[in-house]
Structure 1
Amino acid sequence: MADQLHHDNQDGWVGKEPYWKDAVFYQVYPASFKDSNGDGWGDIPGLISELDYLRDLGVDVVWLSPMFESPQKDMGYDISDYQAVYDRYGTLADVDTLIASCHDRNMKLILDLVVNHTSDEHPWFKESRSSKTNPKRDWYIWKPARYDPDGNRIPPTNWRSYFAGPTWTWDDNTQEYYLHLYGSFQPDLNWENPSCREAIYQDTMRFWLDRGVDGFRIDTVNKYSKRTDFPDAPITFPGQPNQPAAEMWCNGPRIHEFIREMQEKVLTPYNHALSVGELSNTPLPSQVLPYVSAANRELDMVFEFSMIRLGTGGAFHGKYLYQPYPLSELKAHVATWQTFLEGTDAWHTVFCENHDNGRAVSRFGDTSSHKNWEGSAKTIALWQGTLTGTLFLYQGQEIGMMNMPRGWGIEEYKDCESMGFYEEAVASGDQDRIAKTMDGLRILARDHSRLPFQWDGSANAGFTGENVVPWMRVHDSAFEDGLNVKAQKEDEESVLGFYKTVLKLRKEYGELFVHGAFRHLLPEDEALFVYVKEGVESGRRALVVLNFSAEEQALSSRGVTVARALGCEEGEEARLLITTLRERERLGIESPERLRPWEGRVYVNFAEGA
């Protein structure tokens, strides 16, 4: 990109391209990946046993979701000891082995950094709530009560938490409220306190960097700086006691100062350890740029959520009241963040799954039949694999894992957020709201991504022993239609085989797919997603044509021809680089005009005879 600065491992933000731009990252949710000891819970030794699988897939960096000591009320995002490992995951020695095993395979490992909040069982919070004069009192955010005209005690503000309910919980011992943006068991740390910040850097970052980890995915990275005047939020949901208030804590007044300090004091001294931030409620490129501008020296890249949040009813009230959307809206979000990079010194991420969302093939694809499932899973792979930025995959995405079957009841949902919204709907007594919330959960709930990984077709899908009760129910699809690793390894044209091919092509044509400029074609079309990628230096071009529908579609009827879209000059020809179709289905593909249901193709311009 024009005027782009980069940082390398020795000389700061100048020089060669850093490794993480071209790398493929793979998120492991450890509880659900592989159980090595038969207790029904995934663990670090289980992950170590499958590192060769990840290497063979084409993974360069493993991102391990929280495995720290925790009461597990929010699956490890409520940490009670940053320097210990939750015993069901293993030991510190196991983590050391994991680090060494990744490095032995020329892979890197990053951990989840959760430092907006701790568990209420963390020693810091126990000290903080012990008395108003404790030295750690100001490491969390405490405020006195307010009182309504009738003398009833009410919270300091009317803010609503992400998990439903207020952001404040009353503490009887010290007679004040503490702030928590998430669950009441997750009190927010006070980043305004420099001693607290230094403890975060030392205990949660340097400790693990000293053990050899290569960086961090940084949870809730833009929520550390709150508005310290603590005003009430505007009433946007009349009649509700708690109101959405993300503007009170997202992208706050000192946030860039805090992140630069983290970079300068910790990440830069450790060979510019990798940093990728979770940047929620920040939908404008002008808001995102300061976080990832190389000149600002804050974060290497961030996750921006406009596209992956499609279908939700908002982050607060009614989040799981599903809102249908057209393909053109999805494409507009993708185009915004693809063109965001042009003319800047910024970098971005490419992803469509993670631990906080439903499965991509169930949300953006089609699971109505085995044929449509396979076609749409491959089309999603081709879409993700040809976008500019650093690619992140989530465990099971590479085999097309799906959402829970719709027939499963609420008893199969374990997530604290899912249950909070469902219980809120039940408490309303509104049967229509209850039904619509359940329907939304079936599409969007975080639980879907947390089902056990499907290794084979045996009982419990090879995730754990056949006579073990896993912590979450294994998906029925593990036992049929070849939706598991073992079956797909035996089929080179499976979804897994296709992902391997796409990842190889992504690296082979890195100038086009990882670094290329994006040009959107047919932005208003509601069936076809079509775009051109162009190498900034070579001028080589790729045309990506994706049929996001269960109907046959014709390019010619849209006025698009492959050669013209590629800008083929004299002496050049358009060649098919890859298609989602199996070999037996490719008869007649020489004609690029018609795409079959859920078919994707990529064409590249080549010199004739080359």
Structure 2
Amino acid sequence: MTEPAWWQRGVIYQVYPRSFQDSNGDGIGDLRGIAARLDELVALGIDAIWISPIFPSPMADFGYDVADYCDVDPRFGTLEDLDALIAACHARGLKLLLDFVPNHTSDQHPWFLESRSSRDNPRRDWYLWRDPVIDAEGNRCPPNNWISDFGGSAWEWDEATGQYYYHAYLKEQPDLNWRNPEVVAAMLDVLRFWLDRGIDGFRIDVLWHMVKHADFPDNPPNPAWTPAMADMARVLQRNSTDQPEVHGIAADMRRLADRYTPERVLIGEIYLPVEKLMDYYGRGEPEVHLPFNFQLIEAPWKADTLARLIADYEAALPPGGWPNWVLGNHDRPRAATRVGPDQARVAAMLLLTLRGTPTLYYGDEIGMADVDIPRERIHDPRELNEPGKGLGRDPVRTPMAWDASPNGGFTQGDPWLPVHADWETRNVAAQRRETRSMWRLHHDLLALRRRHPALSVGDWLPVTGSDAVLAYERRDGDDRLMVLLNLTDTPQRPDLPEWARGLRVLLSTHGDGDPAQLRRNEGMILG
């Protein structure tokens, strides 16, 4: 057996840099702020940090509209600050991952400014330009019915050159043409630039969006759509996403990453059904190491549903495919909001005891929930474009609270988004002092993962339970552990298999526990 890679054993921690730690009082988090908090992350017990985009950007979509892939936005610091952060992480045994945004650039990127300057510019074909369709009444119409993920047509008219360009997101985020070999070469050069500087891997933004159908046919209508749903859901994105050619590009990225030592990791953001998700491991050549598995974010919080989901995912993995799990991120409601504060503790135990690589979203370790954002302080273009549909992402991107000082110690200035109301008690410093806090639970779970390889790289085996209790075994050789999770607000008596009846409680979400009796909202690890 080969030794598991660091990204198989470890836990990834996502930092949203605007909201993690401000070092200069401008109300926006930055790279020096992240560096100042590294020892806190070491104390928690994580292994790698993934930071959302820090590249130069007009911030139409808060960094996901990149104007220069090989520099740092002044709001976050300098290239030297990033080099220092890489070195500081490595000195502490931490890995550092960047957020790579290859599907689209900013409309202020020099490539796009050249592309839209004239039809015969050498970079015209670096983006997706199409002639209009003229309807029966002689009206100019977009080339097809594709809809932006942020609402409205995905085509923007350019008066100067008389064509539309395609944008899967904001009009300020034109999509690159990944069928153009020059684009592929340029973006591989970007990856090489950062790998050469010591970056340990990348989370690849919207990987499944990168290639579109060559003929741009209409997307079929979604028969399940209702006006309460997002505008993008009016059609099924059959022709605008998940095209076969994307797999060759992912394989190119993997070949590049595999040339570097120590091992680098590629993580793909892919919102697709499980059977499609598996393709991104690579059916022929290897592709991304970890196609993000978002099922825990979207699934009903019921024991039987989750048991079936986990088993089906494990069964679907291709040979050599390593599982991964995500409970929260910068786009979706926080776990404490989705399942409630009591079940958020059980959810943390689930995330950190399943087989595979977990990704932990900043603030979840102290139980942060979604924050109500006053209308005048809304920043997210998705909420501004489709208000009232619950699509806004500002509530999950609010500042981290480190201590009981003003603004939770995040900034000495005015924070770009409001801090959660209970920051004086819900903060890292306070919870580090408490023996049964959410932070302490995460710390103890991460420590237990290190002591018991069964919890990180061991086998996962389902255990017959009930519709209230999710139960499974983790096994590595002779090391056998039982995980029991009560997903209800009522006490439960677990039906333990014979081999587990003599085990003791290694960790409970309630601090102590009795294997014969699961209290309400209690998770327990036996060993």
Give, in angstroms, the shift of residue 332 of structure 1.
Answer: 3.5
* 1-structure distance, mates of 2:360, 2:508: 20
Of residues 322, 328, 335, the one that matches 1:347 is: 322
Which residue number in structure 2 is paired with residue 218 of structure 1? 204
> In the alignment, does 2:341 pair up with 1:356?
no
State yes or no: 1:262 paired with 2:247. no
Q: Where does structure 1 differ by over 6 angstroms across 4 or more consecutive aligned residues?
A: 238-242
State the match for 1:553 in structure 2.
491
Deviations along 1:394-444, whole A, 9 cap, x unmatched? 111111111114xx543343211122221xxxxxxxxxxx5xx2xx45xxx
Amino acid at match of 2:418: R
Please report how far the alpha carbon of residue 520 of structure 1 lies from its aligned counterpart in structure 2 after TM superposition: 5.0
Please tell me the residue identity of whatever aligns with 2:357.
Answer: T
Aligned partners of 1:249, 1:194: CA distance in 2, in Å? Answer: 19
Alignment deviations for residues 352-382 of structure 1 (CA, whole Å, 9 cap, x no partner): 0111111111112x2xxxxxx3x43322221
Range moving further from structure 2, 238-247 or 156-165: 238-247
SS in 1 for 2:436: coil
- Distance 1:48-1:333 versus aligned 2 partners, 3 A rule: same
For the residue of structure 1 that corresponds to 2:503, the secondary structure is: strand
Residue 195 (structure 1) aligns with: 182
What TM-score do the two structures reach when normalised by structure 2? Answer: 0.93
Structure 1 segment 213-252 matched on structure 2, within 5 A: 213-236=199-222, 243-252=234-243
Contact conserved, 1:307 with 1:334, CA < 8 A, in 2? no
Aligned to 1:410: 375
Does the aligned pair in 1 maintain the 2:156–2:166 contact within 8 Å?
yes
The one-character-per-residue Cα deviations of 1:13-37 (angstroms, maximum 9, x if unpaired) are: xx43211100111111100000000
Deviation string 1:157-212 (CA, Å, 9 cap, x unpaired) is 1011110111110011110000111111110000000011101111x211111111
Does residue 452 of the first structure (1) align with residue 438 of the second (2)? Answer: no
Match runs of 1:7-406 below 5 Å? 15-202=2-189, 204-236=190-222, 243-264=234-255, 266-271=256-261, 272-280=263-271, 282-285=272-275, 287-293=276-282, 296-310=285-299, 328-341=304-317, 344-364=319-339, 366=340, 373=341, 375-405=342-372
Q: Given the alignment of the two structures, is residue 521 of structure 1 paired with residue 507 of structure 2, yes or no?
A: no
The alignment's TM-score, normalised by the length of structure 1, stands at 0.81
Question: Alpha carbons of 1:330 and 1:246: their partners in 2 closer, same or farther (altered >3 Å)?
Answer: farther
Shift of residue 348 of structure 1?
1.9
In the alignment, is the contact (CA less than 8 A) between 2:270 and 2:292 conserved in 1? yes
1:393, distance to aligned residue in structure 2 (A): 0.7
Deviation, 1:258, is 1.3
The answer (yes or no) to whether the contact 1:339–1:518 under 8 Å persists in 2 is no
Which amino acid in structure 1 is aligned with residue 42 of structure 2? R
**Does the 8 Å contact 1:562/1:574 carry over to 2?**
no
Match for residue 384 of structure 2 among 419, 422, 439: 419
* C-alpha distance after superposition, 1:260-318 (max 9, x if no partner): 12222x212223521011112x2133x222322596311111113333234xxxxxxxx
Give me the whole-angstrom Cα distance separating, in 1, the residues matched to 2:70 and 2:456: 39
From 547, 569, 577, the counterpart of 2:506: 577
530, 537, 546: which is aligned to 2:470?
530
Supply the distance in 1 between the matched residues of 2:455 and 2:439 (Cα, whole angstroms): 23
Contact 1:552 1:594 in 2 (8 A): no
Which residue does the alignment assign to 1:426?
none
Structure 1 stretch displaced more, 90-99 or 498-507: 498-507
How many Å separate the matches in 2 of 1:274 and 1:193?
A: 25
Alpha-carbon deviation of 1:239? Answer: 10
Deviates more, 1:249-258 or 1:137-146: 249-258
Deviation at 1:153, TM superposition (A): 0.8
Q: Residue type of the partner of 2:298? A: R
Determine if contact 2:455/2:474 at 8 Å carries over to the other structure.
yes
User: Aligned partners of 2:268 and 2:366: how far apart in 1?
Assistant: 26
Question: Matched residues in 2 for 1:420 and 1:309: separation?
Answer: 23
Q: For residue 431 of structure 1, what is the aligned residue in structure 2?
A: none
Tell me if the contact between 2:65 and 2:105 (Cα under 8 Å) persists in the aligned partners: yes
What is the CA distance between 1:325 and its match in structure 2?
A: 7.1
Q: Percent identity?
A: 38
Q: Do 1:226 and 1:253's aligned partners in 2 also have CA atoms closer than 8 Å?
A: no
Cross-structure match for 2:480:
541
Corresponding position of 2:409: 462
Q: Is the 8 A contact 2:302 2:487 kept in 1?
A: no
How far is 1:255 from its partner?
A: 1.2
Q: Displacement, 1:328?
A: 4.2
Structure 2: tracts of 5 or more residues without a match? none
Number of aligned pairs? Answer: 521
* Contact 1:357/1:448 (8 A) holds in 2: no
Mapped to 1, the partners of 2:464 and 2:35 lie a distance apart of: 43
Counterparts of 2:191 and 2:385, CA distance in 1: 31
Q: 2:432 aligns with which of 474, 489, 511?
A: 489
Residue 419 of structure 2 is aligned to residue 474 of structure 1: yes
> Secondary structure of the equivalent of 1:263?
helix
Decide whether the 8 Å contact of 1:160 with 1:245 is kept in 2: no
Deviation at 1:594, TM superposition (A): 3.1
Partner amino acid for 2:471? Y
1:576–1:603 contact (8 Å) kept in structure 2 = yes
CA distance in 2, matches of 1:449, 1:85: 24
Take 2:506 and 2:444, find their aligned partners in 1: how far apart are those partners? 11
| Residue identity opposite 2:462 in structure 1 | R
Q: Which moved more, 1:192-201 or 1:376-385?
A: 376-385
CA distance in 2, matches of 1:36, 1:471: 14
Question: In the alignment, what sits opposite 1:316?
Answer: none
